[in-house]
Amino acid sequence: MADELTTALAAGLPEGALLTDPDVTDAYARDMAGFSAAGAPAVVVLPRTVEEVQHVMRTATALRVPVVPQGARTGLSGGANAVDGCIVLSLTRMDRILEIDPVERIAVVEPGVVNAVLSRAVAEKGLYYPPDPSSWEQCTIGGNIGTGAGGLCCVKYGVTAEYVLGLDVVLADGRLLRTGRRTAKGVAGYDLTRLFVGSEGTLGVVVEAVVALKPAPPQQLAMAAEFGSAAAACDAICRIMESGHVPSLLELMDRTTIRAVNAMARMGLPETTEALLLAAFDTPDPAADLAAVGELCTAAGATDVVPAQDAAESEMLLQARRMALPALEKVSTATMIDDVCVPRGRLGDMLEGVALIAEKHELTIGVCAHAGDGNTHPVVCFDALDPEESARARASFDEIMALGLDLGGTITGEHGVGLLKKDWLARELGPVGTELQRGVKAVFDPLGLLNPGKVF
């Protein structure tokens, strides 16, 4: 079987595009999700053209071999993990920016373009591609589309889905589908473009994307506000949003996270505070907006409000926030990162509930959050070498999702379902939703070859 597969694939691929050495292919087995099982790929294919992707899918369909599409494998839900005997289809070599058009405010890209590469290329033309997941220096646009990635920008600019106008997709049987449009608007037929965003490679393989761009906003200016309790910080967030402010960033770090960041990078963040709120504006007069938001923070009980004086100070605050995950990863030997999004008004309940779960399971759980969106990332720190502690970590991770659903939230704001949360997806969707989603999957992938076992 493996020989037949290798021979058939090689017949339509150039030299170097097909990897079969298990020592090499094993390196493609998993993304960055803890706790998620990963199988051994039969082969890894690194195509450079649409035709090569079509050849892979035709071969996979003919031989009934599962295919796992991959970007940079920075995902946090196991959505890119291999299954035994699969073809790993890594799109990282399809990394050309085909077009950047300032009049249409679009870019046309191959899926393997790295987020930061696109962001910098459009910035040179005075444009802005907002989605900025924390892995933006490594992750690919194709991967961002697969997972529906978000980032710090979302409170003002939304998630990846809002920037995908049209897609070229190779289907399970190798046919090419073009969805969507290059125009600013369009409502011709069902919105298949959005169906592919967040579908984690289970419906087709994205080989080209038309993404929307914004004009580059003014440089953002940030501030930090310290609070004596998470509840007070959450109150401030509600006041800010209720008052009609549109911050370009509104982030929360709890005491555990602050300490972890200080321990890693000596940032000098205030360790006596229970919750640190970071806000930023990229408006024409950010200092005035920050002053207004600072007053709301004070009214909500902030113990200190420190606006950045310039872009450099702003950038330092953002760096501290961007360090949250790496810093928490150093607390123990392993972490699991939740991604529960709740209504903003329930953020206080969410943080309080997470603290109780941490206490109950005697674990360190640091929380950083895209607070303006209600999107929390409780990070469960545990010793992966201790089976009993690992079990408690897994239980905590699940209890956090249950809490999120109880508060009217979702199990995933921006990381996707993958393997890690697939048991939870059915609970969120309910039986009718699950049945219809499976029906949709069957339309696109009747043989079930595309990323099997993910999402559902």
Cβ proximity of 379 and 340 under 8 Å = no
**Which residue lies nearer to a copy of itself by CB, 28 or 281?**
281
Indicate the SS3 state at residue 354.
helix
Closest distance to a copy of itself from the beta carbon of 396 (Å): 20
Closest distance to a copy of itself from the beta carbon of 97 (Å): 18
Alpha-carbon torsion (271, 272, 274, 275), positive or negative: negative
**Which residue lies nearer to a copy of itself by CB, 387 or 430?**
430
- Backbone φ and ψ of 193, nearest 5°: -55, -50
Task: Report the distance separating Cα 178 and Cα 390, nearest Å.
Answer: 45
**Which residue lies nearer to a copy of itself by CB, 21 or 435?**
435
Closest distance to a copy of itself from the beta carbon of 21 (Å): 35
**Which residue lies nearer to a copy of itself by CB, 41 or 416?**
416
Closest distance to a copy of itself from the beta carbon of 208 (Å): 15
Closest distance to a copy of itself from the beta carbon of 262 (Å): 29
Indicate the SS3 state at residue 219.
coil
Can you tell me which residue has the tokens 């004596």? 228
Cβ proximity of 94 and 145 under 8 Å = no
Bridge partners for 249 per DSSP: 280
Cβ proximity of 442 and 369 under 8 Å = no
Closest distance to a copy of itself from the beta carbon of 168 (Å): 11
Q: How far out from the chain centre does Cα 201 lie?
A: 14
**Which residue lies nearer to a copy of itself by CB, 205 or 261?**
205
One-letter identity of residue 125: K
**Which residue lies nearer to a copy of itself by CB, 203 or 205?**
203
**Which residue lies nearer to a copy of itself by CB, 72 or 381?**
72
Cβ proximity of 61 and 21 under 8 Å = no
Q: Measure Cα distances from 152 to 39, 215, 318, 371, 441 in Å.
A: 33, 18, 9, 10, 31
**Which residue lies nearer to a copy of itself by CB, 235 or 389?**
235
Closest distance to a copy of itself from the beta carbon of 43 (Å): 27
* Burial of residue 287 (number of CB atoms within 10 Å: 0-12, 13-18, 19+): middle
Closest distance to a copy of itself from the beta carbon of 385 (Å): 32
Task: Report the distance separating Cα 395 and Cα 418, nearest Å.
Answer: 18
Measuring CA to CA, which residue among 451, 452, 445 is closest to residue 171?
445
